Structure 1
C-alpha cells in the first residue's frame, strides 16, 4: 500500500509542477506582449486591423498549444494512471486507504486543472483587451464560423459513427451518438468558452445606443431605461440561449431595483 501511495503523491507533485511551469511561461509571454499589442494596434492603418489580428492570433495559438499539451498530459499521466492503479487495487469500493487517497488525488488534479483553465481565460482576456475595448461582436462571429467548420467532424468514441454537434456549447456537454446512444463529451474551445463570459458585455455593446439615449434624456426617462434593459437581456439570451431562464430572473431583479430607486426618489 505504501508503494501505491508514494506513486500517487509523486504523480500529483509532477502534475502540479508541470502546470506551474506552463502558467509561468504563459505569464511571461502575455505580459511581454501587452505593450507590443498596443503599439501594433495604434500603428496599424488597416481599417480591419489585420496586423493586430494576426499578432493576437499567434499569441492565442501559443496559449492554445499549452492548453492542448495540458490536456494530453492529463489524459496520459493522470486519468490513465488512475485507471491503472484502480485495476491493481482489491475491491471496487472507496473504503481502503488506497482508494480514499486515489479519490482525493483525482479531485485535487482536476481542481488544479480547472485553475489552469481559469488562468488561460484570464490571459486570453488580457490579450484581447490590451489595445482597448475589444470588438466582441467580431470575436463572437469568429467563434460561430469556427464551430460551423468543425461541427460535423466528430466521431463516437464507442462505435466511431460520424456525429454532428447540434449547437455551439460553451461548457463541456454530453452529446448522444445517434447510432449506439453512447454519451460523448463535447469540450468547446477556449474561445467558445470565453463567449459565455463575454456574453453580457457583447449584449451591452449591441445596445449601447439605447443606454446612451436614456442617459442623454433630460429629465431621465425611465421608460427609455426599461427599453434598454429589456433589449440588452434579449440580446444576451440570443447569444447564450441556455442561460435565458436564469437571465430572466436577473432581469426581473434589475428592473425591480430600478423601479424601487424611482419610487424612493
Structure 2
C-alpha cells in the first residue's frame, strides 16, 4: 500500500506542477492579448475584422492549453486509476485510489474554471468602452440623419418623432404621401450600443450573480472533500464533527443555489429597464425580447 500511495502522490505532484506552469503560460498569453488588443481595435477600420481574427487566434491558443490538460488526464491520471482500481490484490485500497482520482479531477476542473474566468475577464477589459459617450454620439447622429429626410412627392421635411430600428412608412403631413424611411446603420448602431450600455450599467448585479454561482461550486467542493475524508476515518467524534460541517456547508450551498438564479433574473430585468429608459420608443420590442429570454432561461 505504501508503494502505491507514493506513486499516487508523485503523480499528483506532477499534475500540480503542470497546472501551475500552464496557469503562468495562460496569464502571459492573456496579458499580451490585452496589451495588443487596445491598439488593434483603435486602428481596426475594416468593421472589426482585424480584432476578430486576433481574438480567434488568442482563443485558439487558450484552447490548446485546455487540450494539454485533457491529454494529461487521459494519459497519466485515468490509466493509473483504471490499473489500480481493478487489481484484486488492491481491492482493500480501492477507496484510496478513487479518492485520488476524484481529487485530481477536482483540481483539473478548478483550473479550467479559473482559466475560463481569466479569459472572459481579459476579453471584457480589452473590449471595454465608455458606452455612455458612445450612445450619446450615436443618438445625436440618428437625430441629425432623420432631419435630412424629405417627402419624395412634395419635398416637405418628414416629421419623424421617434426612434426606428427597422424600415417604416412615414406619412407626409402636407400631401399625405407614404414615404419609406430606412434608418440604416445609425439606428442599428444605436440599438446595439444601448444594449451594451444597459449591460454596463447593470454589471454590479451580474457580478453578484457570478459570486453566488462560484460560491455554490466552492461550497460543494469543500463538502465533497470532507465527505471523502470520512472514508478512512475511525474516530466517532471526528466523524460527527465533519458530518455537522458538511451539513452546514450544504445549507449555505442551498442558499447560493436559490440566490444565483434570482440575481440572474434581476440582472435581465435591470438590463431591459435600462434599455427602455435609453430608447423608450422601442419598449414593446424590448419587452418581447425580455419575455423570450426569461422563458428560455427558466
TM-score under structure 1 normalisation? 0.53
Relative to 1, partners in 2 of residues 1:64 and 1:216: Cα closer, same or farther, differing over 3 Å?
closer
- 1:237-259 CA-to-partner distances (Å, cap 9, x unmatched) read 44xxxx42xxxxxxxxxxxxxxx
Aligned to 1:108: 103
Distance in structure 1 (CA, Å) of the matches to 2:289 and 2:98: 47
Aligned to 1:87: 86
Q: Which runs of 5+ in 2 are unaligned?
A: 132-191, 193-263
Matches of residues 1-265 of structure 1 in structure 2 within 5 Å? 1-47=1-47, 49-90=48-89, 92=91, 96=92, 98-129=93-124, 130-132=126-128, 211-214=274-277, 231-238=289-296, 243-244=297-298
Q: Which runs of 5+ in 1 are unaligned?
A: 138-199, 218-223, 245-265
- 1:19-78 CA-to-partner distances (Å, cap 9, x unmatched) read 11111100111112202111111110112x111011111111111001011111101111
- 1:230 Cα deviation after fit: 7.3
TM-score under structure 2 normalisation? 0.47
The structure having more radius of gyration, on CA atoms, is: 2
Residues matched between the structures, number: 162
Distance in structure 2 (CA, Å) of the matches to 1:19 and 1:230: 45
Q: Which has the higher helix share?
A: 2
2:40 match: secondary structure: helix
2:127 match: secondary structure: coil
Relative to 1, partners in 2 of residues 1:3 and 1:209: Cα closer, same or farther, differing over 3 Å?
closer
Note if contact 2:40-2:50 (Cα within 8 Å) is conserved in structure 1: yes
